Amino acid sequence: MIILQLYLSFLKIGLFSIGGGYVMLPLLEKEFIAVKGWLTATEFVDIIAIAEMTPGPIAINAATFIGYKAGGFWGSLFATAGVITPSAVLVLLAATALKHFYHNRLVQAVFSGLRPAVLALIAGAAISVARATVLNLSAAVFAAAAFLLLVFTRLHPILILLLAAAAGLLVFR
């Protein structure tokens, strides 16, 4: 039964996560922490951190990790299938339609409305993750340093993550 619940939950999340994996973070948090209670806030943040560090889209990685945590191998398989089903179907349909209507004024107006909404969802997810992660001054310094390095240097995000992990070994050991 949990396998079907995972598939349907991720199907729903995949269907309403317009804008990518980061947009789905508030939906994941609500569904799996608040509604289902399958994860704690700390587990959620850890899963998102791992999903972000591993190769591939964060949405698929998060579905795989959350599915595995909740339902083992089959849970990860069905959660991943659930999250990609809407995208696969919608991309095929949208590509066909958009090919003919992309330069239409109404289509452009819809995209102009969606872009700021997607930004707001990403900002909301960032605030939610920050609340669960930045619990002391050291964590706040780490977050600020990583942000500044990302914005003001040409360092690759993976290198920033590796530096944060090394610093975490030194500070939080």
Q: What is the pLDDT of residues 95-153, one digit of tens each?
A: 888 788 888 899 889 989 999 999 999 999 889 888 888 888 988 999 999 999 999 99
Q: 69: domain range?
A: 2-105
In a domain, 129, yes or no: no
Q: What is the pLDDT of residues 20-77, one digit of tens each?
A: 777 888 888 899 998 999 999 899 999 888 988 888 888 899 999 999 999 999 999 9
Total-model pTM:
0.58
Q: How many domains does the chain have?
A: 1
CA–CA dist 95, 78 (Å, integer)? 25
In a domain, 26, yes or no: yes
In a domain, 146, yes or no: no
- State the distance between the two ends of the chain, measured CA to CA, in whole angstroms: 41
CB 158 within 8 A of CB 148: no
In a domain, 151, yes or no: no
CA–CA dist 64, 75 (Å, integer)? 8
In a domain, 70, yes or no: yes
